[in-house]
Every structure is written in structure tokens, then in C-alpha cells.
Structure 1
Amino acid sequence: MSQAAMAIHKENPNVLVLISGLNFDTELQFLKRKPLNINIGNKLVYETHLYSWTGIGTLKLKDIWIKQPLNRICALSIRGLDSSAGFLTMGENAAPLIFTEFGFDQTGVSIQDNRFLTCLQTYLAGRDMDWGLWAFQGGYYVRGGDVHVDETFGVLNSDWNHLRYPNFTDKFQLLQMKIQDPTSKAGNANIMYYPLSGQCTKVNQKNELELGTCEKNHHNR
């Protein structure tokens, strides 16, 4: 892995070098025992994948999201996620980590996926991480020998003309913003984020708290 990273960097020192994990790119904890120890400047980036059924840390069952209290499972999941991948963003040799693939059933019928997504949103927003969502397409012309197969994880519906998940725009609004900017000279600010809806709290003209767009709540911190 180290040799491959160095070979890519030598060929083109301007590109980012992404390091993937094991077990469908869900486990990077082996790097605790044997770190890469390579010097390619700020071009080293790690990536990981995550779904409700892949588990986080020692939590491997999808049904655990409905069998135990969400706050408890989310806290344990975040702890496991830091153990398997998030640790790479901490310490003296911290490096960027991108969630290059995660997804959920965008029909909204999976309680497990809905709860998993809410927990993951909290993690991504809190760390201001970049991410990639599976998938955009509403379906497939041919898949597995079948014709016109629906993709329930797709952003678009099966006709490719509307969002499959009605709350998609609000749900992901804060995750598409730059929340933390290390080059900013602005003062710190806190954001009260409600991941279930994707909205942020704000004070209205009556000096009351209410949920709304995160745009005006967007501050560097």
C-alpha cells in the first residue's frame, strides 16, 4: 500500500492519493498497528464506506437500529466509527477522511436506514467531512438480467424526473456547506442542528427559537 501511494505521488505529485480500507472499505484500524509512514505532503487522504447493515465497530446487525434506543446505539456507533476510521483525523499525523460511499433506502420505508442516516448526519456535520452518496440514478436499464430495475437508494425516482426522498434538499443542506475553515479569521460560532429534518435553529423576530434553513446559521468555527 505504501509503495503504491508513493508510486502515484511520484508519477503526479499534484493529485490526491486515496487510501481505502479492508472489508468493503469499512475497516482502517489495521493502520493503528502498522501506519503507512509515508511523506507525500498534504496529498494523503483516507476513504471509508458505510451502510446500516455493514455495522460500525462491533455493531454488525442492521436490526440493532430498531431494537435499542437510538441515542444509545448512535453513541456506540460513533465510538466504533472513530475506532475503525475516524482516528485517522486525530493526533500529530492527522489526515483527511472522506466518506466516499454511504446510502440509505430513499423510499423512506426503512426505519433502520432512517435512524442510521440521522446518526451519520450528526457525525458528518460535527466533523465537517466530505462525502459521496450512493446513488444518483433512479434505476437501471438492465441489472442482473432484469429490465428496468428500480434503485431504491437512488436520489431520483424510477422515472428520473423527481427526487425520490421528498425531504432530500433540507436533509442534506448543512452537509453540503463548509462548516469549519482552518484559514478563516472569523470568530467561533455554534450551530444548533436538528438532523432528523436537516434544519437548524434560529431566532425569529419574536425572539423565539424555530427550525429553518441552515444558510443564515452558517458560520466558520
Structure 2
Amino acid sequence: MTPKEPQPEPQNYGTGISTDAPGGRRLVLPLSNHISSTYTILTNPVSRPRRRRLISLPPKTKTGRMILLISILLIGSFLHYMWKAEAALSKPWTPDDGSIDFSQRPLSPPANETFLPSPGYKLPLRTKGRDIVDQNGKRFKLSSINWYGASDELFIPGGLDVQHRDVIAATIRSLGFNSVRMPYSDEMVISNPDVPPHLLAANRDLVGERALDVFEATVTALTDAGLAVIVNNHITTATWCCGTDPCDAGWANDYLPGGLCRVRQTEAQWIEHWETVMGRFVDNPLVIGADLRNEVRGLWGTMPWEKWASAAERAGNVLLRMNPDWLIIVGGTESGNDLTGVKRRPVELDEEDRVVYSAHVYSWSGWGSVGGRYSKRTYSSFAKAMRKKWGYLVEENLAPVWIGEFGAPDRPGIGDVNYWQNLVRYLKEMDADFGYWAINPRKPRDNERESYSLVKDDWVTPVLDYRMKDMTELRRK
């Protein structure tokens, strides 16, 4: 028998593994000399018991691990910084000496010459450059407040269960406001429901009336008190405005899939609702205008200015055929913040000198922009944004701009006050028309407390704090 020749030892090709092969041979599998992760290799399950071997493979690279670690540290540091920044903005503000002193003195009575019925004004109003003026060219500066409720679930202005509408009108006048923005919903016009008696507990003469009748009576109480009124189409569905619901993001929602919107309307129906509401005020000279739509934004901020401007022209011209003396107020896109499109495409109506533009400015406005929300901006950054969004129209004497909504809480944080002080400073510099949100001490849903209110729950006692102090100074400009 020929003896079996001895098998040569396998050559070493570097780091590898040794494993039994069929026939009793041993194989060495060459691997890279780089050391990294380990893998488990199983031997032939038939010829040998299972054994696990660890092998070294090349790393995904140490550089990759380092990049991942650095990225995690950077993200963590950024999130920590943001958390600290937000916490700082939310820190309660301590009132300054001027605000404390103001709160301890009775509110001075307003000057009669700031109200339209005074002999100093001759109606109707028009626009001239950056101003709203009377027939003699005298400026009428809108110093307004919002009185909401008819746009919400209860369909009527708030507070009619607490005070008579004449009392609330007198309160608004005593606070120094010369005009009131009155929102309504399209659903209120469509359904025009009966009003439950308990919502009219302080206005028993209105029990049995429907929502539109109550709205008209409230507006009439304001004008009887010498206050100018601007009617505002606030929202389609009667609810608190404004959320992410696409059904309420514009004046018409019939382009959306059927069944999506509880209240569905076309542009033509939107205009018809305007005719229904304003038809009640054709002969009331102190109902001075129509704020066509609140915070137009389209689907998640996609509303083109040109589309909105064209719709505003169609609605405005219909209303001016009813009464050519009304002012037509057109708000900006992006929830009322953006009027940059006016420069390239102004709203032009059949009647000249009737267009007033409107912007809304809150502490959270500006989110998503490079500079961030207005609550965290320096004054130079804030003023630059205002000038770009709407201030240029006033600075260049192109058209009036009314800040139809702005406001802040009675117990503000540092960020709230930063926004507020920047805005008040800018409004003073521009001598701009303004409309505060809001008079209501309670929200319609669940009777929730309204922290932005300027009166207490009795709808009579004023809240004399930093906000009222600053608005008193704004009116003096």
C-alpha cells in the first residue's frame, strides 16, 4: 500500500480562519488584516459539530462612527439650546414701573373728536395715499377692537348673557376705541339659527330672534354709541379660528373632495352671504366697511396673492354696487401676514379710493422663516420683517394698512412682551391704524378664559395693564 503523502501546511495569507473541510483537510480562508466587526461562521453541519468562529472584517470606517457621534452631539446640543431658549421666552415678565403706575390710576376719558359722529368729520370715508380720510381730507385713524362670537359655535357676539349690548358698546367707547371689528361665519348666515334664551339673559328684548337679527341689533348698538363698525367674514364653519382645517383656509372650499367639509360653499355663495349680511346695514353710515375674509392661507400656506386679489375684487365690486361708500378691507395671505404681493398686483375696484389692506401680527407670526417667530426677534429684525410684509405700503404712501388683529396675554412671558414692545414701537413710528384682539373675557366654547381680554368677566371693568397703557399712547399719535 502506498503510504499517504503528508499534506503540506496551508500557507498563511494573513489573518484568517481555520476550518475543517471534507476529507480531513484543513483550509485557511484568507481575510484582510484590518480588524473590525466580528462575524459568526458555522462549520459543516454534517461532518462536524457546529462551532462558532469570530472573524475580523473591515470597519464601516472609524470616520463614519465619528461623524455619527458628532452628529448626535450637535443635534442634542441644538435641542438643548432650543429648549433653554423657549424656557427663557416663557419666563414670567415682571411689570415695569410705568405699567404699575398706569394700573393704579383711573382711565382717562377719550376725546370726543376721535369718534366719527363728532362735528370734525364729514362722511363718507375714502382713502388717500396711506390714510383713511373724510370728505374734507381729514384723517380718521382706526383705533379698533374685535368683538367676536358670531363666528363661533354659539352664532352670536359674546357677553349678551352678561350685559346689555348698549352697556358693552359704552364700555368699548370708554376704553377709547373708535371702531369695532365684528366677525361672522358663513354657517351663521346659512343656518341663521334660533338663539337659546339663556344666551340672551341680559338682552331679553332679543329673545325669540334669530342669529342674524341678534348680529344686526348688536352692530346697531355700537353705531348708536358713535362707534364705527367693520364687518368681517371670519370663517366658513362656525368655530374658533384658525386651525389647519383646509375647509376654512379660504373663502370657497368646493374644490375639495365632497364630504370632506361640513359646510361647503362656492365663491358665488360666499359673495351671496356677504350680500345677506351687509344688506341690513346699507342705510347705516357708521358701518364703514367690509373686511372680506379673515387670514386667507389656502392649503397649508399655498394661497397665491393673485388668486385672492381677484376674488376680493369680485366680492368688493358686488358690495360697492350695494353701497359705494363702503371701504373694502383686503387682508394679506399667509394667515394675514403677507401683503408683499400688493406691489406687483394691487386690488383695483370699480370705485376708486376704497381699498384698505389689513395685516395680522402676533407673537407666533413669522414661524418657519429664517428669523423665526416674532416673540424672539430683535427690534431691527422685527422692523425689517414688518417693512417687507406691509410697512412699505405706508412708508411709500401707497395705501392704508390696518393691523386688524394683534394682542397679548394679561400674564405675559418674556417673549410675549418682547413681541409686544417691538410691535408697539413700530406702530408708533408708522402711526398705523390698528385693531386689538379682543374685548371678550370668555371664549364661546366651554366658557374658557380669554387671556387677551381688556375687560373682566363683568364686561365693564377695564384691565389696566401694560397693553392698555401702550394703546392709550398709540391713540395719541
TM-score range, shorter chain: 0.5 to 0.7
- The AA in structure 2 aligned to 1:25 is G
Provide closer, same or farther for how the CA distance between residues 60 and 11 of structure 1 changes in structure 2, counting only shifts above 3 A. farther
Question: Which of 99, 105, 123 is equivalent to 2:409?
Answer: 105
Distance in 2, matches of 1:58 and 1:13, equals 42
The AA in structure 1 aligned to 2:469 is D
Q: Percent identity?
A: 24
Give the 5 Å matches for 1:94-173: 94-107=398-411, 109-140=412-443, 142-143=444-445, 146=446, 148-158=447-457, 160=459, 162-173=461-472
Corresponding residue for residue 206 of structure 1: none
User: Residue 83 of structure 1: which of 383, 388, 391 is its match?
Assistant: 388
Distance in 2, matches of 1:31 and 1:161, equals 40
Report the alpha carbon displacement of residue 47 of structure 1 after superposing the two structures with TM.
0.6
Q: Is the Cα contact below 8 Å between 1:151 and 1:158 reproduced in 2?
A: no
Q: Is the 8 A contact 1:45 1:95 kept in 2?
A: yes
Could you say if the C-alpha distance between residues 169 and 104 of structure 1 is closer, same or farther in structure 2, counting changes exceeding 3 Å? closer
Q: Give 3-state SS (helix, strand or coil) of 2:396's partner.
A: coil
* Contact kept in structure 1, 2:375 and 2:416, CA below 8 Å: no
CA distance in 2, matches of 1:113, 1:100: 18
- Contact kept, 8 Å, 1:58 with 1:80, in 2: the verdict is no
Superposed CA offset, 1:175-205 (max 9, x none): 113x3xxxxxxxxxxxxxxxxxxxxxxxxxx
> Could you tell me how far 1:80 is from its partner in structure 2?
0.9
The answer as to 2:317 corresponding to 1:14 is no
Paired residue type of 1:171: D
Larger radius of gyration: 2
Q: Which amino acid aligns with 2:425?
A: T
Residue 202 (structure 2) aligns with? none
1:136/1:155 contact within 8 Å kept: yes
What TM-score, normalized to structure 2?
0.32
| SS of residue matched to 1:86 | helix
- The answer for the alignment partner of 2:371 in structure 1 is 59
Looking at structure 2, the residues matched to 128 and 62 of structure 1 have their Cα atoms a distance apart, in angstroms, of 20
- What is the Cα-based RMSD across aligned positions, in Å? 2.4
1:27 aligns with 2:338: yes
Q: Secondary structure at the match of 1:173?
A: helix
* Change beyond 3 A, Cα 1:26–1:158: same
The answer to whether structure 1 residue 50 and structure 2 residue 361 are counterparts is: yes
> Compared with structure 1, are the counterparts of its residues 25 and 12 closer, same or farther at alpha carbon in structure 2 (3 Å cutoff)?
same
Q: Distance in 2 between matches of 1:164 and 1:63?
A: 23
Q: Does 1:176 align with 2:475?
A: yes
Cα distance in structure 2, aligned partners of 1:161 and 1:8: 35
Q: Contact 2:403 / 2:432 at 8 angstroms: preserved in 1?
A: yes
Aligned to 2:99: none
Amino acid at match of 2:371: L
- Quote how far apart the aligned CAs of 1:58 are: 4.7
Residue 40 of structure 1: which of 317, 332, 351 is its match? 351
User: What secondary structure is seen at the aligned counterpart in 1 of 2:334?
Assistant: coil
Partners of 1:91 and 1:63 in 2: CA distance: 27
Give the structure with the higher percent helix: 2
The 3-state SS of whatever aligns with 2:360 is strand
What is the CA deviation profile of residues 2-25 of structure 1, one whole-angstrom value per residue up to 9, with x for unaligned ones? 333333333321111111111221
- Displacement of 1:165 in angstroms is 4.8
C-alpha deviation, 1:158, in angstroms? 4.4
Aligned residue pair count: 165
User: CA contact under 8 A between 1:101 and 1:131: conserved in structure 2?
Assistant: yes
In 2, Cα distance between equivalents of 1:10 and 1:16? 12
TM-score normalised by structure 1 residue count:
0.65
Code of the residue aligned with 1:51 in structure 2: it is: Y
SS at 2:448 equivalent? strand
Distance 2:460 2:321 in 1: 44
Paired residue secondary structure (2:451): coil
- Equivalent residue letter for 1:174: E
After superposing on structure 2, the runs of 4+ consecutive aligned residues of structure 1 that deviate more than 4 Å are 158-161
